[in-house]
A and B are shown apart, each in its own frame.
Chain A
Amino acid sequence: MTASLARMASRPDDPDALVAAELAELEALAAALPLDEIDGVPPVQGPQDWE
């Protein structure tokens, strides 16, 4: 099973807690993106031309 189909973590009912849970999940996803692989790679800005 790929992570793209991973079950969303069980979410709290309280709206503020929901925000905190989403933020924690996104921060974990960002931290898991390896830095060494993007050395010298510029960020996407305008539409990409598939160079």
Chain B
Amino acid sequence: MSGLSQAEERLEAAIAAIEHLNPTLNAYLHLDLEGARAEAAEVDAIEAAREAIADERGADALAHESPATGVLLDPDRPLAGMPVCVKDIVDVAGMPTTAGGADWVRHPEEDATVVARLRAAGAVVVGKGNTNEFAAGIDGRNPHKGDCHNPWDPARLSGGSSSGPAVAVATGMAEGAVGSDTSGSIRIPAALCGVVGVRPARGLVPTDGIVPLAWSLDAIGPLAPDVATAALLLDVLAGRPPAPAPRPAVAGLRLGMAGSLLDLAEEPVADAIGAAASGLREQGAEIVDCAIPDLERPMATHRIIQAIEAAAIHAPWFERRRDRYAPEVRARIEAGYGLSGEAYLRAQRHRRLFTRAFAAALDGIDAVLAPASPVLAPPIEAEEVTVRGERLGVRPALISCVAPLSQLDCPILAVPAGVREGLPVGLQVIGRPGSEALLLRVAAAVESAVGTLRPPSS
């Protein structure tokens, strides 16, 4: 690859992975390789010019407008040359937004704010990542656009709804990605594909230019192959200067193990989570039990709130397109029309009670540890899985450890905790609002013990 400069070289590596793997894994719904190559060439030209300017006038002279977009460039350009995958519910100017729907499409002329921030920081948008229909799913299956497949075993689920972004960063089809998380749609695919995913505290990352699912639950965040890249992407998405890479520093931290969630996990998952906790203990953290409040109610409030908000969001399209939704997605959305305003307010009031109880449970604890998925990636055709001896639907099983926590508006990340039976296991780290940096330190400590994972297919 000699003769290519840095951004072009990194992009060509991603394109080679796409050509090799995307036909099997279906991570991308739309690719703009010509546009990406032009962007990469521009990034390299800008970086060369920046070096010359910095040499001549100092680093403070580096902020300037992109000649192509007119967007004011981030003076630090922390993502210069990074090929990224953007979930196909997020607007990218010049690319269609389909949201994974059957025949729903819009053609945005402007980038979503998060995409504008990525470009201003020097990232190169390669294409749009696969998603469950309208982000309303957790398994990565899509009857309209084709299922996304797990790179560790293509016969297994990738997890979703940010399926394409997770698979892309797991396989080198992108170095970073943007996803969304309403019930667990960043954390579950991150866990099943062996990558890092961050659900930031709600409000930290803007959600304009995105096809929403449920506005009081939606969060936009990064997926990345390692903790340092996830941290960098999070800072860019949040529109703040990049912090130094998170150090694996947990000595003196008091971390709570959510026993009620660990009890939901199958043995291989529980074993990997336990090993990760032991690794944190060896690095100086104190691991204590953390009694998370009753999970039954937050699961109920989550389903009620999501159904009603999704119904309101889909109202403009639903009457005309009801028959174009997959039956399960249609049911979850249309049911929201039938629920009362009183049910919505009751759920939102109970949500606040759960948040208060969870905050109280964190008294004296810096962060909480829990499994992301209670099971390893299920077979792609599975309708049920076995969890602790019980046969359960794939969807209720996959959301069991993530959806209740989506009520909290707090930061939560998923980091690989190891590989069991040839498949990755994801650990959730949950903290108070504003504690993203602390959670990333914990994740870096887990990563220092486990290493970054790479699926055999890549």
- Residues of chain A touching chain B, judged by Cβ–Cβ distance below 8 Å, are 1-8, 15, 18-19, 21-23, 26-27, 29-30, 32-33, 35, 37-38, 41-51
Decide: A30 and B349 in contact? CB cutoff 8 A: no
* Among A21, A38, A44, residue most surrounded by chain B Cβ atoms (within 10 Å): A44
> Measured between C-beta atoms, what is the minimum distance from B376 to chain A in Å?
16
Q: Are B393 and A4 in contact (CB under 8 A)?
A: no
Partner pick for B397 among A2, A5, A19, CB 8 A cutoff: A5
How far is the CB of A40 from the nearest CB of chain B, in Å? Answer: 9
A26 touches B303 (CB 8 A): yes
Among B37-45, B135-143, B332-340, which stretch is in contact with chain A?
B332-340
A49 x B433 contact (CB < 8 A)? yes
Q: Measured between C-beta atoms, what is the minimum distance from A32 to chain B in Å?
A: 7
Question: Is residue B236 within 8 Å, beta carbon to beta carbon, of the partner chain?
Answer: no
Q: Do A7 and B349 have beta carbons less than 8 Å apart?
A: no
Jot down 23 A-B pairs with beta carbons below 8 A, ordered by A.
Answer: A2-B260, A2-B295, A2-B296, A3-B295, A5-B264, A6-B396, A19-B330, A22-B331, A22-B332, A23-B339, A27-B338, A29-B304, A33-B297, A33-B350, A38-B353, A41-B349, A41-B352, A42-B352, A43-B344, A47-B203, A48-B355, A49-B433, A50-B410
- Complex interface: chain B residues within 8 A of A1 (CB): 388, 390
- Distance of A37 Cα from B409 Cα, bound (Å): 21
Closest partner residue, chain A, to B389 (CB atom): A1
Least Cβ distance of B308 to chain A in Å?
A: 9
B260 lies within 8 A of A48 (CB): no
Q: In the complex the two chains form, is B296's CB within 8 Å of A4's CB?
A: yes
Known: A2-B296, A26-B339. A33 touches B347 (CB 8 A): yes
- Contact of A43 with B352 in the complex, beta carbons under 8 Å: yes
What chain A residues lie within 8 Å of B46 (beta carbons)?
none
Chain B residues closer than 8 Å to A15, beta-carbon distance:
327, 330-331
* Contact flag A30-B299 (CB < 8 Å), given A5-B400, A8-B395: no
Q: What residues on A are CB-neighbors of B393 within 8 Å? A: 7-8
B346 at the A interface (CB under 8 A): yes
Docked pose: A33 CA to B299 CA in angstroms = 11
**Assembled-state Cα–Cα distance A3/B302 (Å):** 13
Which residue of A6, A19, A30 is within 8 Å of B346 (Cβ)?
A30
A48-B352 contact given A5-B390, A29-B303, CB 8 Å threshold: yes
Main secondary structure of the interface of A (DSSP, over half): loop
Query: Which 5 pairs, one residue from A and one from B, show the smallest C-beta to C-beta distance?
Result: A43-B348, A30-B343, A47-B203, A22-B335, A38-B349
**Residue from A5, A37, A38, A51 within 8 A of B396 (CB atoms):** A5
CA A37 – CA B390 in complex, angstroms?
Answer: 32
Q: How far is the CB of B122 from chain A (nearest CB, A)?
A: 29
Q: From the candidates B216, B260, B347, name the one contacting A30 in the complex (CB within 8 A).
A: B347
Are B392's CB and A7's CB within 8 A?
A: yes
Contact with B400, one of A4, A29, A30, A46 (Cβ below 8 angstroms): A4
Which residues of the partner chain A approach B396 to less than 8 Å between Cβ atoms?
4-8
Nearest residue (CB) in A for B360 is A50
Give chain B residues whose Cβ lies under 8 Å from the Cβ of A30.
300, 304, 339-340, 343, 346-347
Q: Which residues of A contact B20 (CB under 8 A)?
A: none
- In the complex, which residues of chain B have a beta carbon less than 8 angstroms from the beta carbon of A37? 350, 353
Residues of B within 8 A of A51 (CB): 356
Chain B residues with Cβ under 8 A from A19's Cβ? 330-331, 334-335
Q: Which residues of A contact B155 (CB under 8 A)?
A: none
The 0/1 profile, CB within 8 Å of A marked 1, for residues 307-343 of chain B is 1000000000000000000011011101110111001
Cross-chain contact A38 with B346 (CB below 8 angstroms)? yes
Residue B186 lies at the interface, judged by CB distance under 8 Å to chain A:
no
Q: In the assembled complex, which residues on chain A have CB atoms less than 8 Å from the CB atom of B397?
A: 5
> How far is it, in angstroms, between the C-alpha of A30 and the C-alpha of B335 when the chains are bound?
13
